[in-house]
Chains A and B, each alone.
Chain A
Amino acid sequence: MIGKALVAASLKPLMLSVLSHGEAYGYEIIARIEHLSGGKLSWTAGTLYPVLHRLESEGLVESFWRPSESGPRRKYYRLTRKGEQALASEKDQWMDVHALLLKLWSPDFSFGDS
């Protein structure tokens, strides 16, 4: 399982990234993340929706209702232009951290090199 702090930190970039592949509703987002992570990352609705709503109030995503064939209508979310920019910035930051960790973890790395 992934630690609480990292779950919290990765919420925003993960949601934006899922939505960058097209609009989705809340359950769909949780299901995709759970599937992709092989069950290591599993959000509750109580965690997901408030964050989605906050992103919406910040103008990074927008929402709309759409009728569903299998029951009542669903609320869909999609990325806005501002959300795309936010994602790009998030991506850079994650990649920087990622690159750093990779460097540090590479077997032949030592501080004497650079």
Chain B
Amino acid sequence: MRTNAFDLEKAIAAWRNSFAHTRSFSADDLEELERHLRDQTAALVRSGLSEEAAYRQAQLKIGDFGSTETEYRKVRLGKLKQKHILSETLLWYQHMLATYLKLALRTMAKNKLASFINLAGLSVAIGCSLVAFLFIDFFYNRDTFHENASSIYAVHSMYQTGNDVQEWASSPLPLGPMLADAMPAITNMARIVDGSAVMHVGDQVFTESIRFVDPAFLEMFSFPLAHGRPSALYDAQAIVLSAQLAQKYFGDTDPVGQSIDLRLSNGTDVTFTVAAVAAPFPDRASFWFHALLPFDQLRALGLDFDDWQQNTRTTFIQVDAYTALPEIERQLATALPAQHLADPDRPIESFRLESLVSLARKASSIRDNITFLTMDPAQAINMAFSGLFLLLLACFNYINIAVVTATRRLREVGIRKVVGSNRVQLVVQFLGEHILLCTFALLCGTALGHFFFAPGFNALFPVFNLSLDLTESTLAWFYMAGILLFTALAGGLYPALFVSQFRPLSLLRNQLLQGGKQRFTKTLLVFQFALAFFAISNSFVYFDNQEFQRNRGWGYTQSHRLVIPLTDAQQFTLLDNELRMLPGIAQTSGSVHHIGRSRDRATVTVEDEPYEVAAYRVGQDYLETMAVRAQAGRFFDEAYPSDTQQAVIINAAFAKRLGWSEPVGQFLRIGSTSLQVIGVVEDFMTNPMRASDPALFRLAPDQEARILLAELAPGEALATATAVEQIWRTNFPDLPYTGYFQDTILDAFYNVMDNLATVSLFSSFISLLITCMGIFGLISLTLSKRLKEFSIRKVLGATPKNILYLLNKGFIVILLIALFFAIPMSYFMLDVTMGALFSEYTPMHVAPFVWSTLILIVTACLTISSVWRKATRTNPAVILRQE
């Protein structure tokens, strides 16, 4: 017998062993399978095979181990898995997240400097961008507190002037009622006409602005009332006060039912009863009122309600269905002929409905709008850019520092990869760390913005009350989430992708630790330097321009000119006579309109071409007293009696518009009156932001004077002004004195401009700070990587200078590249923005750019040398002995 004869029992036992090592088969399963194998073998033996061949074939028929095991496992473990999979996975995730969190916190703690720089830079940038967001949000979402905001429309008039169409907030007086009568879809209508009146309460006398409104005004708009009801204005003798005015006249007592005496613009005295008092107006109100009077009072003032030539300040309608708008627009068009007939010189091209919701947003392109604080879209874009700009700067910083920090963790990444992390997991882990840091930064930044930056901004610009209200504004939540996403992704995605891309072997072999060319990091640095340069040069140019604006000529002499507004015509002769006797008064003049205070508009026709111009009606000596500069011809003169009716003086802008090289002697027409140009004056400034409007002056008799202009002798101006006030008080004890110096009229404007310059200085400081922190962080990290190298160099005899050169080399080259791009870009951008903001602005000097360059280079060098000292002071022996 051969000893290696086939033994079925042994073969089966071996087979069984090979199956038993996995948990996929239970003992029962194996027993069943074994019996199957035996049956199969027996059947094959019966069919004539040898025992060994039969067994081999039977084994084959059972199937290969792999697929059999898989099938068994599916059935056996299926149920088990389903039950536990969820909780088990959650448990794993919990462990994983906890580990990630621990790792993140440890990494942050280990790189204290880098974490701090990232956190601080991001927080400051987020805080600043929050202010920008609040600012833009403030302008874009106003008036929405009115419950009917979405169904209220303002009716605006479109005028064709030259080639462009102007939108005016006004519309003809009879239009509102006509529309409301014709269209049932219009549920309410309110017109606004502005005026002023002298208000007497007890011994208090002040001139106050008055808004005449239709009685439905308070019902259409939801101005919250402190006392009284929205129906208050239906009473013809009612007056509604703002909270501020009620406080001024009545203190904290409820003034409803109290009487107020008003001297209206026609000189009559009327007594009104306080019917309601508004609560302080919401911050988001784009327009409001000081005092409201019923519209019908205008009739008493001689206004003809059927006169299509008369205009309201603006007209609002409330519409019950959006679908009625096209029908209303058709109805509006039918009103045009009546207006054209009444005012052929100033025909309205068409009417336009402007929703209350978007009214304030579009105010900068609407003439004579009622919006308080209009904002040019350019300003909003500017603000948005500043916010984004700082965020970008901080993100660039972040990316750079994060990449360098991450390269220190390449070994960790290598180990994780070897142990089985896939790329997605690594990216998630790294991004998670960034999200954690960004969340911290978001919290800190929001706190900074809310508690410091926004209040600071409000202090600079008291008309604003920017504050973050997360309970009110869902937009703010979106904004915060957006910022988190933006900073985390913008700052974290690249580093995460960067570190996860390498092959573990090269990571562990240390091939990448010394870094490649870091092209990305360097590009970002170029951007960072360029942005910082732009911010710095921006604030230099701002301050330069500020100086320029202050010293820029106004086109007339603004100093020592006292302006005394008059309430009626009789006052002029009386005051004028008394003032002339004062020794400190050099010259006086009466005037209807006054530069920087009031003006009319006129449609001038020259050769059948209409021109829209500002029209001033002035007294005989007005132009001399104001010292407006003559360019050609002469001023008004008593020697020419024809001046009173037929003479006109135009400004240079108008002459240019008309294309006249020799304007004196030319004729132009206003309505049916033909006028001859007797003089041309230089352009004078009314708004420093805009180029001079075309303007003309006509003579007005002293009996119509609304202001008295006095030129004071230099040296005793203040004393004279006090004397003038005294004269007023003696003559008109019951009228308020409202005189002012002409050179103060732009104070508010300059103040705002100063504050804007402060804001730009602040933002350039912040961007410089962020950039410095960035360089500092980056170079510290570089240094720590190259400390050994430097130590060896030192041992071999390198001087501190050599090391400074090595440290600086890269950065200075980058800085120079950045400057190469930044200087022309900044020059161009600033020229464009200044040109958009001001009609005349400071000529672009070299100085701001030289200064900015110096500041940037010096701060960069200072930052670098602070690190350099560390490098030179360390003992090379200590460093080299490590590891």
Contacts and interface: CB of A to CB of B under 8 A. Distances in A.
Nearest to B73: A50
Interface stretch (A66-74, A83-91, A105-113): A66-74
B176 to A, nearest CB: 73
B43 A46 contact: no
Interface in A43-86: 44-47, 49-51, 53-54, 57, 68, 70-75
B71 A75 contact: no
Interface string A7-30: 000000000000000000111100
Contact of B28 (A46, A57, A75): A75
Contacts of A47: 63, 71
Nearest to B61: A44
Contacts of A44: 61-63, 68
B16 interface: no
Contacts of B38: 71-72
Contact of A46 (B34, B40, B42, B63): B63
A57 B32 contact: no
A104 interface: no
A31 interface: yes
A108 to B, nearest CB: 44
B690 interface: no
Interface string B32-53: 1111111110110000000000
- Residue of B61, B72, B74, B79 ringed by the most chain A CB atoms within 10 A: B61
A46 B31 contact: no
Interface in B1-41: 28-29, 31-40
B67 interface: yes
Interface residues of A, number: 23
Contacts of A25: 35
Contacts of B62: 44-46
A44 B71 CA distance: 12
A50 B34 CA distance: 15
Interface string B74-108: 11100100000000000000000000000000000
A31 B63 CA distance: 15
B32 A75 contact: yes
B63 A75 contact: no
A43 to B, nearest CB: 9
Nearest to B37: A45
Contacts of B72: 46, 49-50, 53
- Residue of B33, B39, B43, B64 ringed by the most chain A CB atoms within 10 A: B39
B455 to A, nearest CB: 70
A57 B77 CA distance: 12
Nearest to A73: B35
Contacts of A46: 62-64, 67-68, 71-72
A102 to B, nearest CB: 34
A23 to B, nearest CB: 14
Contacts of A28: 39
A57 B75 contact: yes
Nearest to B29: A49
Nearest to A53: B75
B36 A71 contact: no
Interface of B: 28-29, 31-40, 42-43, 61-64, 67-68, 71-72, 74-76, 79
**The 8 A-B residue pairs with the shortest CB-CB distance in the complex, in nearest-first order:** A46-B63, A46-B68, A44-B63, A50-B71, A27-B39, A45-B62, A75-B32, A50-B75
Interface of A: 25-28, 31, 42, 44-47, 49-51, 53-54, 57, 68, 70-75
26 contacts: A25-B35, A27-B39, A27-B40, A42-B61, A44-B61, A44-B68, A45-B37, A45-B62, A45-B63, A46-B63, A46-B64, A46-B68, A49-B29, A49-B36, A49-B71, A50-B71, A51-B75, A53-B72, A53-B75, A53-B76, A68-B35, A72-B35, A72-B38, A75-B28, A75-B31, A75-B35
Given A50-B72, A73-B35, A75-B28, 15 more contacts: A27-B36, A27-B39, A27-B40, A28-B39, A45-B62, A46-B64, A46-B71, A47-B71, A50-B71, A51-B75, A53-B29, A53-B72, A54-B75, A73-B31, A75-B31
